[in-house]
Amino acid sequence: MRTATNLRTLETEAIEIEQETGSGNWPSCMANLYLHAKRIAPDAPIYVVERRQGDPLGWCHPDGAVLIFGRANVYDQATLFHELWHYAESQMLSQPDRDIVYGEIGDRCTRWDSDYLDSVREQSARAFEHYASARAHGLMLPRARRGTAQHVFERLYDGKEHARITRWLAWAEVRKNAAIAVPYLGIGSFTFFMMCVLPHLVTH
C-alpha cells in the first residue's frame, strides 16, 4: 500500500499499486540535446553535469554557462530548453522581444503562490520549455504573428535569432573596417562600396 493524494478530491488515501520495477537503463540522448543546443544557441557554454542529491534540474549561471544536471536522458531535453531560454534572455534577445514575452506571459500565466515560480522570467522559461518540447516532438504549429511571444519563441527555436545576431555582428565588423578604409578609398569609392557592393555581400 502507498499513501497518495487524490487529485479529484484532494484527500489522502492509501492505494495498492502493482507495477514492475523499470530497468532504469535510459538510452543516452546526448546527440539530441547537442543538436538542439547547436541550433538554438551555438555560442552558449553548455554542460551536462553528473547529478548529485540536492542538485536542481538545471541552472543558467549569471556568466552565461548553462548546466544540465543528469545523464542526458529524454527528460533532460525540457530542462535544456528551459535553461536555454534563460541564456537567451541575457545573451541573445533584445529588450523589445523580452517585453513582448513578459507582457503576454504576465497577463495570462498560472499562479503558484511562490515568488520564484510566479516570476515572469520563470514563467517565460517554462512557456518556452513547453513550446520547444512540443515542436521537438513533432507538433505542427501555425506560423506565429510578429509581435507575439510565440513569434519570439519560434525565431529562437528555429535558430533564426542566432542567425540574426551573427549577421548583425558581421555587418558591424564590415562597417568598422569600411570606416578604416575611407581615407584610402576616397568618398566616391566608399559610397559605391556601401551602396552597391556591401548589400550584395550581406545578402548573398
- Structure confidence by residue, pLDDT tens digits, 132-185: 999 999 998 999 999 999 999 999 999 999 998 888 666 655 555 555 555 555
Q: What is the distance, to the nearest Å, from the Cα of residue 110 to the centroid of all Cα atoms in its chain?
A: 20
Of residues 100 and 116, more confidence is placed in: 100
CA 63, CA 73: separation in Å to the nearest integer? Answer: 25
Q: Look at residue 40 in the predicted model and tell me its pLDDT.
A: 95
Q: Look at residue 31 in the predicted model and tell me its pLDDT.
A: 92
Task: Write out the DSSP string of 105-145.
Answer: HHHHPPP-S-HHHHSHHHHHHHHHHHHHHHHHTT--PPPPP
Q: What is the distance, to the nearest Å, from the Cα of residue 30 to the centroid of all Cα atoms in its chain?
A: 17
In the chain, which ranges are E strands? 2-6, 11-15, 46-49, 58-60, 66-69
| Mean pLDDT for all residues in the chain | 84
CA 37, CA 54: separation in Å to the nearest integer? Answer: 25
pLDDT digits (tens, 9 = 90+) for 2-35: 898 988 898 999 888 776 665 566 778 899 999 9
CA 14, CA 129: separation in Å to the nearest integer? Answer: 34
Model confidence pTM above 0.95: no
Q: Look at residue 60 in the predicted model and tell me its pLDDT.
A: 92
Q: With contact defined as beta carbons under 8 Å apart, do 24 and 18 qualify?
A: no
Of residues 134 and 114, more confidence is placed in: 134
C-alpha cell at 202: 550581406
Which strand ranges, in their side-by-side order, compose the sheet holding 58-60?
46-49, 66-69, 58-60
Residue with cell 504549429: 141
b (16+ CB within 10 A) / e for 41-57: beebebebeeeeeeeeb
pLDDT digits (tens, 9 = 90+) for 58-93: 999 888 889 999 888 888 999 999 999 999 999 999
pLDDT of 188 > 70? The answer is no
Instruction: Please name the amino acid found at residue 53.
Output: Q
